[in-house]
Amino acid sequence: MPDQFDQFAAKMREHDMSETAINQFHRLYDVWKADEGSTWIREADVEPLTGVPSFHDVYETIDHDEAVNAFAKTAFLKLNGGLGTSMGLDCAKSLLPVRRHKARQMRFLDIILGQVITARQRLNVDLPLTLMNSFRTSKDTMKVVRADKKFHQTDIPAEIIQHVEPKIDLATGGPVSFPSNPDLEWCPPGHGDLFSTIWESGLLDTLQEHGFKYLFISNSDNLGARPSRTLAQHFENTGAPFMVEVATRTYADRKGGHIVRDKATGRLLLREMSQVHDDDKADAQNIDKHPYFNTNSIWVRIDALKEKLAEYNGVLPLPVIRNRKTVDPTDPSSTPVVQLETAMGAAISLFEGAICVQVDRMRFLPVKTTDDLFIMRSDRFHLTDSYEMEDGNYIFPSVKLDPRYYKNIHDFDERFPYSVPSLAAANSVTIEGDWTFGRDVAMFADAKLSDEGAPRYVPNGEYVGPQGVEPDNWI
């Protein structure tokens, strides 16, 4: 009887997938078949991450002239494979407008390019930028890159293309079939796919040939993860092969992935909440016990990564994340499937001597939902001429927008036709029901709008507080 994986391999070859991509999925599939359950990282087997040097400590101790030299040996890679489907987008999330700057609508990608161009000009460094696109984001993204008259790059590829893999039919264990939309039979393998994609692309060889020693990797939807000569110099000084940026957890971060130390090996591990046993959840979510979370921004020595990838023939043995969904994510009645993924930060456990550095919240500004976008478009932020998103203290209001009316970006934009309200005086924002906003609306304290059972409008210049829209004589 032929191996069931043969069906997947044949399907992937028909889809012109490489042998590296097939080998990577084969490993994930074998792990899944051997163990349907999660691989727990038990609390008793790990120690909390402590004693992490902070960005401020590093800044005070490094030689800033030398830092430029370290920065000149650094390349920049952005993960840009996401379509933003959770917000109703059908294009790269990085093409979503974030805010206006000098009368121009700025998208994530415009800001990223601005950060790179500014760093090149101010520090006189090459700073190559490579985007890891997906087949779905490549065309639109590269059109924007090529249209930017200030961005030039010839020797280093501006993009590499991540792999795709088949979704698994939960009932049969074989490739799922969905004839009405065959594209939905495929999914990305998670951002851990970055490593095999880099290996296959030859990017590391190209970077080395041009004198680069370090690679800084981050998500395109995290505008805080900009190039840093301070961190480049710190990374060089430590001699570490791998460094993860972590930030101090707040209550809102308690369910995110965090770094722990394996008691048996002494190595650092990325522990996602999917790897936490029910009995350990209270400890794992204790922000005093485990004070740092993973920002998914990493620094890696190019020679160390090449050596590690060669050791495993391009497919790193990363923990497998199992995502149960339906083949059509918008239709709960469609065929149940499992998608197998890996996380980029999990590679920290493979590198002896890997380290972490604590960064300020200003280096972690992700936009995963329209709730996040609401804050990013507000007056809590200012986009500087060097394309940095600035805020006073980066302690942001808690925002909960009614998903019925604001989850989809098109619905969101319709209800904020002018701009999002001022959040300068807001501690939290809760919007229930269908509310559309006029110009110059301001929210303060624990602002709340309740569902009144019909579409409502907040007029120009009004104030919204704990009692809703305040009456004219509220002062």
- Give me the active site residues, please: 368
Secondary structure of residue 408 in the 3-state scheme:
coil
CA distance 271 to 247: 15
Q: 113 with 80: CB under 8 angstroms?
A: no
Can you say whether the dihedral through the CA atoms of 313, 316, 322, 323 is positive or negative? Answer: negative
HSE (CB half, 13 Å, CA atoms) of 323? 16
The percent of the chain in helix, strand and coil, each rounded to the nearest 5, is 35, 25, 40
Measured CA to CA, the distance from residue 62 to residue 67 in angstroms comes to: 7
**Strand partners for 29:** none
Helix H or strand E encompassing 340: strand 336-341
CB 23 within 8 A of CB 314: yes
| 300, 242 Cβ separation under 8 angstroms | yes
CB of 270 closer than 8 Å to CB of 256: no
Q: Tell me the Ramachandran region of residue 25: left when phi exceeds 0, alpha when psi lies from -120 to 50, beta otherwise.
A: alpha
Q: Quick one: CA dihedral 323, 138, 77, 242, positive or negative?
A: positive
Rounded-to-integer distance, Cα 138 and Cα 140, Å: 6
Task: State the Cα–Cα distance between residues 197 and 8, nearest whole angstrom.
Answer: 19
In the block, which residue shows the tokens 């009692």? 467
CA distances from 418 to 321, 389, 429 (A): 41, 21, 18
Distance of alpha carbon 428 from alpha carbon 420, whole angstroms: 14
CA angle 262, 339, 343 (to 5 degrees): 35
Beta strand 336-341 pairing with 168-169: antiparallel
